[in-house]
Amino acid sequence: MMRLKRETGALEPKPQGNPGRGKLTGVRDWVQGRIAAQPDLTIDELTAELGSEHGLSVHRSSVGRLLHRLGLSHKKRSSGA
């Protein structure tokens, strides 16, 4: 705490978390367009396409979180509806 006070002049904590600059930020519109063109695309297929077309190496959970932020659900419709 003494070093923080000496270096910054205050004891304010540094901001926490990611300010929204992830690997997928630049391809957000591409992902939306891709899902609109092929709605039954799986997360694994989308992850593979991001690697082959954009050179991005991301985990499928990152793609899933992006889809969730875009308001897209992975829930299947019931067969009786």
HEC string of 10-76?
A: CCCCCCCCCCCCCCCHHHHHHHHHHHHHCCCCCHHHHHHHHHHHHCCCCCHHHHHHHHHHCCCCCCC
Per-residue pLDDT of the chain (81 residues; tens, 9 = 90+): 888 888 888 888 878 877 767 889 899 999 999 999 998 899 999 999 999 999 999 999 999 999 998 998 766 566 555
Q: What is the C-alpha separation between 40 and 37, in angstroms, rounded?
A: 9
